[in-house]
Amino acid sequence: MAARAGTVDQNLIPANAQSKYAVRPRDLPLSCPMPGMYQWNSHPRVYLPIEATGKAKCPYCSADYYMTDVEE
């Protein structure tokens, strides 16, 4: 049986667990919580305009996002 998206069967990271996140160009468009984070215990998804300034703050959880070219 295939794992359902956003369930504990997947290797996802907790949403809103950090206060600062690095964002790569491949992560755009930026949303909080980001894809790859659990959705069930988080706020509604909101898209953040990071392209113009290279940084953004989520209005729900106050997480800071900043652009980086470093690939992890």
Q: What is the pLDDT of residues 25-68, one digit of tens each?
A: 999 999 999 887 777 778 899 999 999 999 999 999 999 999 99
Whether residue 6 lies inside any domain: the answer is no
State yes or no: pLDDT of 6 exceeds 50.
no
pLDDT of residue 29: 95
Does 11 reside within a domain?
A: no
User: What is the count of structural domains for the chain?
Assistant: 1
Is residue 8 assigned to a domain? no
Residue 51 lies in a domain: yes
DSSP E strands, the chain: 20-23, 30-32, 46-48, 55-57, 64-67
Specify the pLDDT at position 51. Answer: 92
Residue 40 lies in a domain: yes
Kindly calculate the radius of gyration of the chain based on its CA atoms and give it in whole angstroms. Answer: 13
Q: How far apart are CA 61 and CA 72, in angstroms?
A: 24
For residue 39, tell me if it sits in a domain. Answer: yes
Question: pTM for the full model?
Answer: 0.71
User: Quick one: pLDDT at residue 10?
Assistant: 63
How many residues belong to the chain?
Answer: 72
Whether residue 29 lies inside any domain: the answer is: yes
The pLDDT, as a whole number, for residue 35 is: 82
What is the extent of the structural domain holding 35? 20-67
